[in-house]
Amino acid sequence: MPTFPSKAEIEQAADLLRAGRLVAFPTETVYGLGANALDQAAVRQIFEAKGRPFSSPLIVHVATIAMSRELARDWPEKAELLARRFWPGPLTIVVPKRPIVPDVVTAGLPSVGLRVPAHPVAQALLQAAQIPIAAPSANRFTELSPTTAEHVRESLGSRVDIILDGGPCTVGIESTVLSLAGPAPRILRPGMISQTEIENLIGPVETGSGAESPGQHPRHYSPRTPVILGGSPGKGRGAHLDFRSMPSSPAAYAECLYRTLHDLDHQGYDWIAIELPPDTPEWTGVRDRLTRAAHTV
């Protein structure tokens, strides 16, 4: 069983956030690299630590639906329905932002992505800090996302002031991002909350990438080892093959995906070949991460 941070560690992390420092913390999706979302200088440190371009917006984590309304210029009925159904949980809702949210958080866009995370350590940190926390994944830009505290240490090292260890993440891939800032609801990034689940609640939803969402770089979520989709690159590339059997359910597959890729990346192999799972709605988030991991540009 994982050892969760003590109350003193949570309070220390909250103090660091309020002082403009960086804190890595677990969510149910992946570990986040957090800063006070209302402190422009603190948020800039996130981009510098990750090597992330300022053109990529950040998701803002909040403790409650009420806190999300304080940051939103417009909070439509569909946002309320989605928040009450899926929060706390792996859904990010993009809505028009209030001026209180610095432009550096949103890449200069007039909208902001908001999420209430379900992980108890994330919730404890948000409650202790009493501020919204801007947090992308706690890793170098385009690299594999971290689902353990050790992954954070390997990727960011001393670039973060404190790492709260809450054990392995249970969802395992980043949140679904849904925009309500345009003329029609649109999924910008698929995740483990599917289009079908969302449409069952609010009606028709469009799909497609957009600048309002993180994770849109063609090559993303990538190990150092080249990833090949659909099979091996041919015989004769190596005498040793290491076969890993992945779970047959989307949720179990997503939970162990990054952890498995981190492990394989440490082995020094020439390549990692992955058979794509079915092209069905419940697998869309996993297929998106695998496709970006294998992109060579």
What type of residue sits at position 185?
P
Distance CA 59, CA 92 (A): 7
Per DSSP, 205 falls in state: -
Statement to judge: residues 289 and 175 lie in one domain: no
Please say which residue of 179, 207, 235 terminates a domain: 207
* pLDDT tens digits for range 93-134: 999 999 999 999 999 999 999 999 999 999 999 999 999 999
Statement to judge: residues 252 and 107 lie in one domain: no
pLDDT, averaged across the chain: 93
Report the domain count for the chain: 2
**With contact defined as beta carbons under 8 Å apart, do 79 and 180 qualify?**
yes
* CA atoms in the 13 A half-sphere facing the CB of 159: 21
**pLDDT, position 81:** 98
End-to-end CA distance of the chain: 40
How many other CB atoms sit within 10 Å of the CB of residue 101? Answer: 23
**pLDDT, position 236:** 47
* pLDDT tens digits for range 225-244: 999 998 666 554 555 788 99
Statement to judge: residues 200 and 57 lie in one domain: yes
Residue percentage of the chain with pLDDT more than 90: 85
As a whole number of angstroms, the longest Cα–Cα distance in the chain is 59
Statement to judge: residues 117 and 19 lie in one domain: yes
In which domain, by residue range, is 190 found? 7-207
**With contact defined as beta carbons under 8 Å apart, do 135 and 38 qualify?**
no
* pLDDT tens digits for range 134-170: 999 999 998 999 999 999 999 998 899 999 999 999 9
